Structure 1
Amino acid sequence: MTLAADRPTPTSEQTRAWPGLEVVPSGPRTAVSAAVARRLFRHAVRRLPVSVSIDGELLGTGGPTMAVRRPDEFFARLGRDGLIGFGEAYLTGAWEAEDLTAFLTVLAADVADLIPRPLQRLRGAVQHRMPRAHRTTKDHTRDLIAHHYDLSNDLFRLFLDETLSYSSALFDTTLFDPAIDLATAQRRKIDRLLDVTGVGGGTRVLEIGTGWGELAIRAAARGAMVRSITLSSEQQALARERIAAAGHADRVQVDLCDYRDAAGEYDVVVSVEMIEAVGLEFWPTYFSTIDALLAPGGRAGIQAILMPHDRMLATRGSFTWINKYIFPGGFLPSAQAIDEITAKHTTLRVTDRLAFGLDYAETLRRWDETFLARAAEVRGLGFDETFLRMWHFYLCYSRAGFASRYLDVQQLLLTREA
């Protein structure tokens, strides 16, 4: 599924709000890097199960299609800015894919070897580094979170299900029966996390990362007392509204609060797909804070997107397309990193885990299909064509990571050693 397959070169008026897109990189340095990128790209795709049309030639062994419509621009962006440039070239229409997810899934499955191994030692000299403004310190984090989560509650309402859950659902089957609606699968995900952490009547719960309130609502319905903290003012407002409408305002408080400032003692701490925004340097602080907040015998339930440990080490400190356009400051941990950090900095240990990465691929498929079907309504909210392409690319890029099994999502139970 594509957006505007015959999209012309964008005008300056169309791209003015998108720094990095209005001007195609040029100059001697770009000429050299573009020539290198052209050779590496052609070498990579020749052996992959894809069909890439470029310069009047068809490359690949056959499979999902990609059409490079403006090769000079494509390689200029790819050469100067690597994967950031690759994504930006899609935003401008320099390349298209009939099935974007399928094409990106092939690349994700081979990501460790797209660049020849000997050249990977040069990664540090050419990759972009995370800007200091993207460090997830207390001074920066509120603005970084707002960049994404304060876009518009109405935007998220357009493509999320009725629970407004913006994390992986749990379908409890590998068949992904279309008869199982997304809201049911989202509630199953929440209920499993509440079950494994033992949330019930009288449980004191701290939720780090409110979302739009569904977990807090379901915990309160069990009789728990919930404090939920967020850094998104948009989410706080709507979560409070939804919690009140569900009749649980007396059991749930939603505060604007950095997790590092949380205080009190709780029987359970839950955090769903929030660790991805914490930042590598603050992972010890995140887990130490949870450890300090838990009462004796307390439990923590974490849902986390994970990447392979070797890729985490290879890419730490890098600045990616996702960082620039979607989640500034974000970085994914590995399962090994979580085990090592909790062992070194806390009394907590992972004692139960459920992996369901393919469920995330299905969740993202449904989000993307709904988003595309409601594109006219997205435009009605004031978002332009570049935003539509950006969001579609983001959802497909993410889905490809899970479909290829490069990424995983897990629910982790952390308890103290006896």
Structure 2
Amino acid sequence: MSTSSVDRAAGPSPQPIQQPIPQQIADESRWPGLATPPHSPLRARAAEALFRRAVKSLELRVTFPDGTTLGAGGPEAPEMRIRRPAAFFHRLGADAKIGFGEAYMVGDWTADDLPGVLTPFAEKLATVIPPFLQRFRRFVERAQPAAEENTIEGSRENIHRHYDLSNDLFSTFLDESMMYSSALFGPGDSFTQAQHRKLDSVLDYAGVRAGSTVLEIGTGWGELSIRAASRGAKVTSLTISQEQKTLADARIAEAGYSDRVDVRLCDYRQAEGEYDSVVSVEMIEAVGASYWPTFFSTIGKRLRPGGRFGLQAITMDHDRMMAAARSYTWIHKYVFPGGIIPSVEAIEQGMAENTRLKLAGMREFGQDYARTLKLWRERFLARWTDIKDFGFDEVFGRMWEFYLAYSEAGFRSGHLKVHQFGFADPR
């Protein structure tokens, strides 16, 4: 796919997907239990009271079918339109961390500027629930299911549920580099140039140059391997997604680097050999906190003395990471099962405790991720008709739109960040 004109074109932004959709579109065979909201009057009343209290101070407008409005935003503020209040509050009452997104998926509420609505919520995330109630969260929040534990088999299933959806799906909204991670924008960069700037930066942190042997943990669709091979390196790249391996092999062959890149269907825990450099871009988020020591120690074992490690990771503040460590959220249920976002402290401590490597460099560029996600969301909406033809329904479309907007809001608000790290072996 060429560098799409979606991010350059003049005119209005693509419109959200069919708003609102009727609940019966939530096909029971595809979306079990989604069409019918839970029923818990006591919890629904409590959720409504907390919601009304929270939005009073947010810079947005919340409108109801009877014309009443909440929120601190003026006429130009982003508008959240609640279409089915009873269903909305019953979903929130049953499980706010999942029900809020599910209510959007089925059209209980909608918005023309979805990231604009979600950003104020993200900015106030730590205070939306009053402190005196937060102490009870461990009694009411769902924990991540044991079935989504990131064992070797569990990781394959978790990755399959997201990355094996369809290569065609991802090609509709990613740029021609097929990078599914934050770009690093420089002045005047196209989207693809910004993705290559990101790759060059993390490869520099890893010390990749002509003659280097490189282990990549998390192949994606092969662009980092191609970029490393173009420097004269020899790359072994690991993935547990068959769909990604198939397309990565084809793209690497088309670029002329099949003799320099070996893509293996292999878990990082099964890696062998020693390398001058290890590189991993936004894969650690899928590892799971209980497996971080194994992940870090694997890097240490696979590096030769004097080797370097380049890492790109989504991060969050350490206290928020600890508070959310066992929570089961909408993102886990519908997008990334088994995942947890680390903090900078967790990464630095994990590397110090499990390897000989020392931090040699670091940069943060979270607002570039917000921009990246905005471009992906606009491309996704602009190509929705094509995506439907791949067999995805309206509920999936609204789910994916919510995921991209939800993530963009996280970075816009500063709740989420993205860092690149360089670690070096002093030997």
Q: CA deviation at 1:278?
A: 0.2
| Matched-pair contact (CA < 8 Å) for 1:82–1:127 | no
CA distance in 2, matches of 1:31, 1:17: 27
* Alignment partner of 1:416 is 2:425: yes
Q: For residues 70 and 147 of structure 1, what CA distance do their matches in structure 2 show?
A: 30
Deviation at 1:349, TM superposition (A): 2.5
Q: Superposed, which structure 2 residues align to 1:212-227 within 5 Å?
A: 212-227=221-236
Question: Residues 175-218 of structure 1: CA distance to partner in whole angstroms, max 9, x if unpaired?
Answer: xx5xx321111011101111222211110000000000001011
User: Is contact 2:205-2:421 (8 Å) kept?
Assistant: no
- Secondary structure of the 1:254 match is strand
Alignment match, 1:404: 413
2:96 counterpart of 1:82: yes
User: Which residue of the partner structure matches residue 60 of structure 1?
Assistant: 71
Matched-pair contact (CA < 8 Å) for 2:300–2:354: no
Aligned counterpart for 1:116 among listed residues 108, 112, 130: 130
Alignment of 1:269-418 (within 5 A): 269-417=278-426
Select which of 10, 23, 31 maps to 1:18. 31
Aligned residue identity for 1:157: S
Residue number among 37, 53, 56 corresponding to 1:46 in the alignment: 56
Once the 2 structures are TM-superposed, how far is the Cα of residue 23 of structure 1 from its aligned partner?
1.9
Q: CA deviation at 1:371?
A: 0.5
* 1:27-82 deviation line (CA, Å, top 9, x unaligned): xxx11111110000000001111110135421111121101110110011111011
Aligned to 1:160: 174
Contact 2:213 2:233 in 1 (8 A): yes
* Secondary structure, aligned partner of 1:111: coil
In the alignment, what sits opposite 1:171? 185
State the partner residue of 2:239.
Answer: 230
Shift of 1:15: 4.3
Equivalent residue number for residue 8 of structure 1? 22
Q: Which one-letter code corresponds to 2:36 in the other structure?
A: V
User: Which secondary structure does the structure 2 equivalent of 1:72 belong to?
Assistant: helix
**How far does the alpha carbon of each residue in 1:391-416 deviate from its partner, in whole angstroms, 9 at most, with x for none?**
10000000000011110001100113
Q: Secondary structure at the match of 1:113?
A: coil
Does structure 2 conserve the Cα–Cα contact (< 8 Å) formed by 1:16 and 1:22? Answer: no
Please list the CA deviations of residues 231-265 of structure 1 after superposition, one character each: whole Å capped at 9, or x if unmatched: 00000011011111111111110001000010100
Whether the 8 Å CA contact 2:306–2:426 is kept in 1: the answer is: no
Aligned-partner Cα distance in 1 for 2:105–2:370: 22
State the superposition RMSD in angstroms: 1.2
CA distance in 2, matches of 1:184, 1:48: 37
Unaligned residue ranges in structure 1 (runs of 5+): none
1:131: which partner in 2? 145
**1:339 Cα deviation from its structure 2 partner:** 1.4
Specify every segment of 5 or more residues in structure 2 that has no aligned partner in the other structure, as ranges.
Answer: 1-14
Quickly say closer, same or farther: Cα 1:111–1:336, change in 2 above 3 A.
Answer: same
Q: For 2:355 and 2:198, how far apart are their aligned partners in 1? A: 26
8 A contact 1:202–1:224 mirrored in 2: yes
Q: Matches of 1:236 and 1:376 in 2, distance apart?
A: 27
| Alignment-mate amino acid for residue 127 of structure 2 | D
Indicate if the aligned counterparts of 2:80 and 2:111 stay in contact, CA closer than 8 A.
yes
Query: How many residues get paired?
Result: 409
Task: Choose between structure 1 and 2 for higher RCO, CA contacts under 8 A separated by at least 6 residues.
Answer: 2
Find the counterpart in structure 1 of residue 6 from structure 2: none
Task: For 1:50, give the aligned amino acid.
Answer: L
Q: 1:259 aligns with which of 244, 263, 268?
A: 268
Question: What is the alpha-carbon distance in structure 1 between the residues aligned to residue 322 and residue 305 of structure 2?
Answer: 34
> Contact 2:118/2:406 (CA < 8 Å) preserved in 1?
yes
Query: 1:140 is paired with a residue of what secondary structure?
Result: helix
Q: Distance in 2 between matches of 1:279 and 1:127?
A: 19
| Paired letter, 2:216 | E
Give the deviation of 1:2 after TM superposition. Answer: 2.4
Given that 1:271 and 1:302 are in contact with CA atoms closer than 8 Å, whether structure 2 keeps it comes out as yes
- Which has the larger displacement, 344-353 or 300-309? 344-353
Measure the CA separation in 2 of the matches of 1:22 and 1:3. Answer: 18
2:207 is the counterpart of 1:193? no
Q: CA deviation at 1:304?
A: 0.1
| TM-score under structure 1 length normalisation | 0.96
Q: When the two structures are superposed, what TM-score results if normalisation uses the length of structure 2?
A: 0.94
SS of the residue 2:311 aligns to: strand
